[in-house]
Amino acid sequence: MTAWSKLLVATTRLIDLHDSGHEPGSPFVQVNQEQRRGLRDGYWLDLGCLLLDYLLDLDFATNSAFVSQARCLNQLRETYPELPHDDLVFVINLLSTPSELHFRHASSSPDAREALAPSGSGEEEPRARRSTKRTALIEKQGQTGQVRLTPSGRQAVTLASQVEDLLYSEYDAAKVLAALARGDFARIPDITNQILLAIRALTQELRRVRENPTREGKLSALLDNERHYHNALSSIQQTLLDARAQLATPRLMARFDAWREAQPDDWDLRVLSGAIGRVLTAIENLSRRLSELLADIAEGRIQAMGVVDFQDLARRLLASSPAPHLQAALVARMMPLHAQACFPRVAPLVPLLESRRAETSHAALVFDEQHDAKPEAPLLARFLEARGPALCQRIQRAPLSLPEALEEGWHRFEEGDCLAQLLNTFVDTELLAPGLTVGIDATPFELELDDGRRIEGAVTPSLGFFLQAQLSMAPEAAPGVPLSKAPEAAADDQRNATSRIDQDEPA
């Protein structure tokens, strides 16, 4: 049973109660099995859960940025290779469409509790009815179609992964030591990710409290548990520091090397150290945010922060200068304390700024193409001109394979190496002679050159006039038809031959 299955097990019957049409006060209290529509194979549910898990991973990597549906489709096709794009669009549209959820809220004030008591008429006063449409798990942009998790979706994935509150994450940190003791190194990144989720959830709560101080209930809860949060963070930090210290011991490194050899994937000890280091960095950031929040509360600096359009603010500053007192405040906060420290000395910059002019030349520049030197032919052209006829005669006697050509030294030319030019003759057969084709033998070859280079191939290519030989030996060949008129398939192969690669440098 996966984490998502456990979440659905805990909430399915609650959804049945929400959707029940049972009349209040009805004596028929027996419950029948709910009839659910659908394919009953879990296909759509599995697609949705895989998509939500992938969006949570991208939420960490991109800092809650929108991602394209193409990336989601490529990720899901690792599980469903033939997944159509329309199925992904259907899942995204369903998870991004909110559904209204109705519930009743009980107030904690004494007056409200008295209102909830049964009235003298024998009818119970209804509780405060509420509803919400914040049930969409995915947020989709209308123009581009890019998607990301909503706060409800992030909370759903967090609940599915069974992440506890930070006050209890110190026990998760102890699991790292247990995994090291048992040699279960593959579990350490998952455990640290769970701790990171809890730390990030509390960090976001602190940010929301600072931006919206009207949430007095959450602010008071943070103040009440401030000492417990610091104790939990100190315990987690100390435990992870001990775990990272164990990673540097020779005994554990030897155990890790033995464990890594038995794993199909390539593991590195730095992966475990990096996972623990990310948690330690997050703990330091959270401790700093918590201390800043407490300092702001003590000094009364908590105030609401709205969304600021800095581009519009810059345009307004360009259109009209701010008030003098605002200018003084900006200069005092943004300018350096000592202006002379911003400007380096001139002496070290003089060599960099000195302009050097070339010597004056009185020679006139005349562009005359008639007297220009003839450019030297490329190495491939010189190779074909010098060794092409002899190589063609060798191929006419018998087909020439690539290993034989290298052993006979056809790649040596002009006291240099023309291996790339020789390979071009196997790619573009028209370089040597028309009608020349390449035959492929399934036998692999392995050859070591004089300079120490090794050439290996899964198959052995050979140059030869295979097509003309087959036509001459075919009994049904029509008499009088010249060999130059090969079948259309051979002509197509010659037309589609890969163009040669002219290069002057050796391979």
For the chain, percent helix, then strand, then coil, each to nearest 5?
Answer: 55, 10, 35
Helix (H, G, I), strand (E, B) or coil at 42: coil
- Kindly tell me the sign of the dihedral angle through the C-alpha atoms of 460, 465, 470, 473: negative
Confidence of residue 268 (pLDDT cuts 50, 70, 90): confident
The predicted model scores a pTM of 0.39
- Compute the distance between CA of residue 34 and CA of residue 12 in angstroms, rounded to an integer: 11
Task: Name the residue type at position 461.
Answer: P
Count of beta carbons in the 10 Å neighbourhood of residue 366: 6
Residues 102 and 18: beta-carbon distance below 8 Å: yes
Count of beta carbons in the 10 Å neighbourhood of residue 109: 8
| Token pair belonging to 465 | 């006039």
**Residue 382, Cβ density class (10 Å: 0-12 exposed, 13-18 middle, ≥19 buried):** middle
DSSP 65: -
Count of beta carbons in the 10 Å neighbourhood of residue 386: 13
Confidence of residue 71 (pLDDT cuts 50, 70, 90): very high
DSSP 248: T
CA distances for 2 relative to 155, 162, 186, 504, angstroms: 17, 11, 18, 60
- Compute the distance between CA of residue 285 and CA of residue 196 in angstroms, rounded to an integer: 12
Residue 104's H or E segment, with its range, is strand 101-105
pLDDT per residue over 466-502, tens digit each?
A: 765 555 554 544 443 343 334 444 444 444 443 333 4
Least confident range of 77-81, 104-108, 237-241, 348-352: 348-352
The mean pLDDT of the chain is 75
Confidence of residue 75 (pLDDT cuts 50, 70, 90): very high
- Compute the distance between CA of residue 33 and CA of residue 45 in angstroms, rounded to an integer: 21
DSSP secondary structure letters along 324-352: HHHHHHHHHHHS-S-GGGGS--SGGGHHH
Residues 290 and 230: beta-carbon distance below 8 Å: yes
pLDDT per residue over 141-150, tens digit each?
A: 888 889 999 8
pLDDT per residue over 391-435, tens digit each?
A: 888 888 888 888 888 888 887 777 677 888 888 888 887 888 887
pLDDT per residue over 151-204, tens digit each?
A: 888 888 877 765 446 666 777 788 888 888 888 888 888 888 888 888 887 777
- Compute the distance between CA of residue 498 and CA of residue 484 in angstroms, rounded to an integer: 21
Nearest-5° Cα angle at 191, 172 to 202: 65
| Token pair belonging to 297 | 């509360």
Inform me whether the pLDDT recorded for 85 exceeds 50.
yes
- Compute the distance between CA of residue 507 and CA of residue 503 in angstroms, rounded to an integer: 9
Greatest extent of the chain over all pairs of C-alpha atoms, in Å: 118
pLDDT per residue over 277-306, tens digit each?
A: 988 998 888 888 877 777 776 665 554 444
Task: Name the residue type at position 3.
Answer: A
Task: Name the residue type at position 264.
Answer: P
Confidence of residue 117 (pLDDT cuts 50, 70, 90): very low
Confidence of residue 133 (pLDDT cuts 50, 70, 90): confident
User: Pick from 407, 402, 398: which is nearest to 464 by CA?
Assistant: 398
Q: Which of 206-220, 336-350, 452-466 has the highest mean pLDDT?
A: 452-466
Helix (H, G, I), strand (E, B) or coil at 105: strand
**Residue 411, Cβ density class (10 Å: 0-12 exposed, 13-18 middle, ≥19 buried):** buried
